[in-house]
Amino acid sequence: MAIDPNDLVGIPIKDFITGKNMPVDVHLKLSETKFILVAKAGAPVDLEQLKRYENKSIEELHVHKDDYSKFIDQGLRIAGILLSHKDLDEHKKAQVLTKAAANVFQAFDRMNFSPEIYNQAKTVTENCVKLVEMKPDLLHLLKSITELNQNNSAHAIATSTLSVMIAKKLDWVAPATIEKLALGGMLIDVGQKEVPPEIVKKRRIDMTHEERQAFESHPYRGAMLLQSLNIVPDDVIAIVYEHHENAIGQGFPRRLKDLTMHPLSKVVCLAGSFCDLTFDINGNDKIRTASEAVHYIQKTLGQPFNKQAFAALKEIVEDSESKAA
Ligand SMILES: [Fe+2]
C-alpha cells in the first residue's frame, strides 16, 4: 500500500538506538514523495544497518503519525528502567530525563497537544520527583541538564526539579502537591507553541508593543490548551496561567499579587524565573550563575517573589555553592 508522506514523522536515527526491538514500522525516505518500509514493528534493532544509514548522511527515519506516541512510550519505558537503576548516577539520570523531556516536546511540536503527550510529560515529571528524592546538588544538576544543549527541555526539567526542591525545603510533603508542582513546572511554556517562534526568540526589550502582547499571552494560551484536555488538575492549569506573575503585581498576564496567587504558582514562578536567568533561552542576553541569579532577584528586581519560597531557593543555592567551594 502506498504511504502518504504527510502521514509520516521524521525521527533522528540516534533515537532508535536505545531499544532492543523496533516498537513500530519504520520507513526510509527515498525522495520527497517516496518512502520504503525498512523495518517492521517487533523486528530487532539492526545497529549495523542504522550505522550504514548514518554513514550515508541519512539523518532521519520515518514512522507513521499514529505510531509516534508508541515510539515515545518505548523511549520513556527505557528511560524509566534506566532511572530506577541503582548503579546509574544522578548526573546520568538528569540527562536521561532531559532527553525524555526533549522527545515529549518534539512530539508536541509536531502534533497537537493530546492526552497521550500529557501523560508522557507526567511520566517524565514523576521521575523528576524521584530524582529530587535522591537529594541531588543543585549546581551539579543544572550542569548535567545543560550539558545536553536541549535548551527548552533543559529549562523545563530544571524548573520542574527546582520547584520540587524548593517545596521540599519548605517542608511540603503531600505527594499529590509535589507531583502537581513538578508537572506544572515542566509544562509552563506549552502556550508558546501558539506564539510565532520569531517573537519567542526575541529579547523582551526588543519586542514591539504587539509582539510583547503576543508573548505575554502564552501563559493564558497554555492554560487553555491544558484545560481543553479535560484531564489536567486545576492546580496545574493555575500554575501554567500564573507562571509569569510575581508577588508585587508586576508580572503578566494578570498582574496578580502574592495574596491572590495560587500557592503552588508562587513556587513555580520563582523556579521558572531563576531558570530564565540561568539558561540560554528566549533571547536571554546574559546567562547568570546560580548565585548571580539569586543576587539579581534580590538586589535588582527587589525580591518580587514570595518571601518564604525565595528564602528556600537562596538556601539551596548557598548550600550548593558551599559544597562546590
Ligand atoms: Fe513562560
Give the CATH number of domain 90-324: 1.10.3210.10
102, 156 Cβ separation under 8 angstroms: no
266 C-alpha to center of ligand 1: Å? 14
Report how far ligand 1's centroid is from the alpha carbon of 297 (Å). Answer: 17
From the CA of 299, how far away is ligand 1's center (Å)?
22
C-alpha cell of residue 105: 516536546
Residue 13 is predicted with a pLDDT of 81
β-pairing verdict for 35-39 and 26-29: antiparallel
Going from the Cα of 206 to the center of ligand 1, the distance in angstroms, rounded, reads: 17
Identify the CA nearest to 306 among candidates 250, 252, 249, 267. Answer: 267
Would you state the torsion angle of the CA atoms of residues 63, 228, 125, 304, taken in this order, to the nearest 10 degrees?
130
Cis peptide before 253 (omega within 30 of 0): yes
Question: How is 103-131 classified by DSSP, letter by letter?
Answer: HHHHHHHHS---HHHHHHHHHHHHHHHHH
The β-bridge relationship of strands 35-39 and 60-64 is unpaired
Domain ranges, ordered by start, for the chain:
1-83, 90-324
Give me the amino acid identity at 103: N
Q: How far is the CA of 209 from the centre of ligand 1 (A)?
A: 18
Contacts of 83 by beta carbon, 8 Å cutoff, 6+ apart: 93, 96, 97, 127, 130, 131
Ligand 1 centre distance from Cα of residue 200 (Å):
10
Mark the ranges of the chain whose per-residue pLDDT is less than 70: 1-2, 17-19
Cα 221 to middle of ligand 1, angstroms? 11
pLDDT (0 to 100) of residue 203:
87
Instruction: Give the whole-angstrom CA distance, residue 16 versus residue 53.
Output: 12
Question: Which cell is 110 given?
Answer: 509536531
Q: How far is the CA of 219 from the centre of ligand 1 (A)?
A: 6
| Sign of the alpha-carbon dihedral angle for 256, 153, 288, 92 | positive
pLDDT of residue 19: 66
Which residue from 161, 300, 180 is spatially nearest to 236, judged by alpha carbons?
180
Tell me how far the alpha carbon of residue 218 lies from the centroid of ligand 1, in angstroms: 7
CA dihedral 252, 258, 262, 265 (to 10 degrees): 60
